Structure 1
Amino acid sequence: MNQIEPHVPDPDALAQPIGDPLGEILHLLKLTGTFYCQSRLSAPWGVAIPGFPDILSFAVITHGRCFMRVGEDNPFEVEKGDLVLMTKGAPIGFFSSEDTPLLTLEELPIRKVTEILETLEYGGGGAETGIMYGLVRIDHAASGLLMDLLPDIIKIDPWEEDAGSWLQATLQFIAKEARELRPGGETVITRLADVVVIEAIRRWLNSAPDANRGWLKAARDPQIGRTIVAIHRAPAANWSVESLAQLAGMSRSAFSARFTELVGVPAIQYLATWRMHLAREQLIETDQPISQIAARVGYLSEPSFNKAFKRVFEVPPGKVRKLHSLKETHA
Structure 2
Amino acid sequence: MDILTEVLASMRTGRPVSVRTTGRVPFGLRLPPVAGAGFHVVLSGTCWLVPLEDAAHLSPLPLGPGDVVFLRDGRGHILADHPDTPSQVEQASQFSPGSPLGTVTVGGVGAPTNLLCGNYHLDQARPHPLVRQLPEIIHLPASPLRHPELAAAVQLLRTELEQPRPGSAGIVPALIDSLLLYILRAWLEERPAAQAKGWAAALGDTAVAPALAAIHEKPAFQWTVAGLATRAGLSRAAFARRFSELVGEPPMTYLTRWRMTTAARLLRESDAPLSEVAARTGYGSEYAFAKAFKREYGQAPGGYRREVHTV
TM superposition score normalised by structure 1 = 0.82
- Give the one of 271, 276, 282 matched to 2:266: 282
Partner of 1:4: none
Compute the displacement of 1:243 (Å). Answer: 1.6
Whole-Å Cα distance in 2 between the matches of residues 201 and 137 of structure 1? 16
Find the residue that maps to 1:125 and give its secondary structure: coil
Compute the displacement of 1:272 (Å). Answer: 1.3
Contact 1:256/1:267 (<8 A) preserved: yes
Whole-Å Cα distance in 2 between the matches of residues 98 and 218 of structure 1? 38
What stretches of structure 2 of length at least 5 have no aligned partner? none
Partner of 1:189: 172
Partner of 1:59: 40
> Does residue 131 in structure 1 map to residue 115 in structure 2?
yes
Compute the displacement of 1:211 (Å). Answer: 7.2
**Percent identical:** 33
Contact 1:43/1:125 (<8 A) preserved: yes
> Does residue 33 in structure 1 map to residue 18 in structure 2?
no
> Does residue 304 in structure 1 map to residue 288 in structure 2?
yes
Instruction: Give the residue type in structure 2 aligned to 1:229.
Output: A
Whole-Å Cα distance in 2 between the matches of residues 251 and 41 of structure 1? 58
Partner of 1:100: 85
Distance change (3 Å), C-alpha of 1:214 and 1:173: closer
Partner of 1:47: 29
Compute the displacement of 1:78 (Å). Answer: 0.9
Instruction: Give the residue type in structure 1 aligned to 2:15.
Output: G
Alignment of 1:75-86 (within 5 A): 75-86=60-71
Give aligned pairs, total.
300
Alignment of 1:1-331 (within 5 A): 24-28=2-6, 29-30=8-9, 32-53=14-35, 55-71=36-52, 72=55, 73-105=58-90, 108=91, 110-113=93-96, 117-138=101-122, 144-159=128-143, 161-208=144-191, 212-327=196-311
Find the residue that maps to 1:300 and give its secondary structure: coil
Find the residue that maps to 1:112 and give its secondary structure: coil
Compute the displacement of 1:154 (Å). Answer: 1.1
Stretch deviating more after TM superposition (169-178 or 291-300): 169-178
Q: Deviations over 1:252-308 (max 9, x none)?
A: 233233323332322222111111110000001111111111111111211100111
Contact 1:35/1:135 (<8 A) preserved: yes
Contact 1:47/1:102 (<8 A) preserved: yes
**Higher RCO (CA < 8 A, seq sep 6+):** 1
Whole-Å Cα distance in 2 between the matches of residues 218 and 123 of structure 1? 45
Find the residue that maps to 2:94 and give its secondary structure: strand
Contact 2:25/2:110 (<8 A) preserved: yes
Compute the displacement of 1:181 (Å). Answer: 4.5
Instruction: Give the residue type in structure 1 aligned to 2:214.
Output: A
Distance change (3 Å), C-alpha of 1:243 and 1:119: same
Instruction: Give the residue type in structure 2 aligned to 1:195.
Output: S
Distance change (3 Å), C-alpha of 1:109 and 1:225: closer
Distance change (3 Å), C-alpha of 1:128 and 1:239: same
Compute the displacement of 1:41 (Å). Answer: 2.0
Instruction: Give the residue type in structure 1 aligned to 2:33.
Output: G
Stretch deviating more after TM superposition (208-217 or 42-51): 208-217
Partner of 1:16: none
Q: Deviations over 1:163-199 (max 9, x none)?
A: 5455334213213323454443232112212332212
Distance change (3 Å), C-alpha of 1:177 and 1:306: same
